[in-house]
Amino acid sequence: VERTFVMVKPDGVARNLIGVIMTRFERKGLKLTNAKMMHIDRELAGLHYVEHKEKAFFGELVDFITSGPVFAMIWEGQDAVKNARSLIGRTNPSEAAPGTIRADYALDVSSNIVHGSDSIESAQIEIRNFFGE
């Protein structure tokens, strides 16, 4: 069964959106198999966002993701990676379809509430990095 890594980012935790986000995944039919509240240190942030290392917004991205607690989760089910990305919506909330989490709860691309793995390979790496599984 396919698994994916999903994380409520510091803005989502600060705005008390953990519950509504989890509800959307549960209603979709995905199953929660692990979850924890944690703080991302700069080393894990660099690892998680390694593909953005050369981007102009990298520093801002690391500052943001380490700015407060995040809620890390593992969800499993049919096409878990693709289904989680559909629920989350496009990276930029202005372009996200109505009904997606980012469209409904976020305004700005740099504080877009939630992360979901973009491929099965990324999911495996992220689950290992965050949960050691």
Q: Is 18 in the site for ligand ATP (CB under 6 A)?
A: no
Give the nearest distance from C-beta 131 to ligand ATP in angstroms: 17
3-state helix, strand, coil in the chain (%, to 5): 45, 20, 35
**Sole binder of ligand ATP in the list 35, 38, 109, 125 (CB under 6 A):** 109
Whose structure tokens read 């519950």? 19
- Count the Cβ atoms, other than its own, within 10 Å of residue 7: 24
Bridge partners, residue 38, by sequence = 70
**Sole binder of ligand ATP in the list 10, 12, 77, 116 (CB under 6 A):** 116
Give the nearest distance from C-beta 26 to ligand ATP in angstroms: 20
Residue 131, annotated as binding a ligand: no
Among the listed residues 49, 62, 50, 67, the one whose alpha carbon sits nearest the alpha carbon of residue 10: 67
Q: Residue 20: left if φ>0, alpha if ψ -120 to 50, beta else—which one?
A: alpha
**115 classed as catalytic:** yes
For residues 28 to 67, the per-residue mask of contacts with ligand ATP, x marking binding by CB under 6 A and - elsewhere, is: -----------------------------x---x------
Token pair recorded at residue 49: 């966002």
Q: Which residues are annotated as a binding site?
A: 9, 57, 85, 91, 102, 112
Residues that bind ligand ATP (CB under 6 A): 57, 61, 91, 109-110, 112, 115-116, 118
